[in-house]
Amino acid sequence: MRRDERRCISVTLNGRQRSGWCESRELLSDFLRHELGATGTHVGCEHGVCGACTVQVDGVAARSCLMLAVQAEDRRIDTVEGLAPDHQLGDLQLAFRRHHALQCGFCTAGILMSCADYLQRVPDPTEAQVREMLSGHICRCTGYTPIVAAVLDVAAARAQARQAGAQPAKEPSHA
């Protein structure tokens, strides 16, 4: 079998300019993990069903197993690593920890990226809306209830902060 020609592409990964080599048919998920070392992005089904590989492309949640790496050229890619710059957990991650919203954690990175995008677009969702959004993710451990609670908790805290004209206070990280 003929090996595809490799080419060098550049992306803005979590705010930093990064370049790497990929084959023309290489998936974005594989490029992120194996070429750029962003292993927080997990791969499950590899055909767009489970949601584990969800990242954000130009600020919008997208399955990185349904996109070729070359399609990401010169675009902004955010992965779960970007939610904790300087190793400080963000409010969404802190809420997941508080509510025990992960078990094995395999699906968590993708869910966090979807939730982060969703809360930007729908800052005050109902429980039914959160559950509908999460229906795009398959959690093998089936722990959806604490995830819903965590998302609603963050939405409420952000709404309160907006009303007070301040950012929600961060919990100290014990990681």
State the residues that interact with ligand FES by CB under 6 A: 43-46, 48-53, 63, 65, 102-108, 139-141, 143
Both tokens assigned to 143: 């722990």
Report the residue number, 46 or 171, with the smaller CB distance to ligand FES: 46
Report the residue number, 49 or 161, with the smaller CB distance to ligand FES: 49
**Residue 59 Cβ, how far from ligand FES at the closest point, in Å?**
19
**Residue 170 Cβ, how far from ligand FES at the closest point, in Å?**
24
Amino acid identity for residue 139 in this structure? C
Report the residue number, 92 or 168, with the smaller CB distance to ligand FES: 92
**Residue 111 Cβ, how far from ligand FES at the closest point, in Å?**
7
Report the residue number, 61 or 139, with the smaller CB distance to ligand FES: 139
- Residue/partner pairs of 138-145 with CB below 8 Å, 24 or more apart: 138/44, 138/45, 138/49, 138/50, 138/51, 138/52, 138/107, 139/103, 139/107, 139/111, 140/104, 140/106, 140/107, 141/103, 141/104, 141/106, 141/107, 143/100, 143/101, 143/102, 143/103
Residue with tokens 């600020």: 59
Report the residue number, 38 or 107, with the smaller CB distance to ligand FES: 107
**Residue 63 Cβ, how far from ligand FES at the closest point, in Å?**
4
**Residue 110 Cβ, how far from ligand FES at the closest point, in Å?**
7
Residue 68 half-sphere exposure toward CB, CA atoms < 13 A? 11
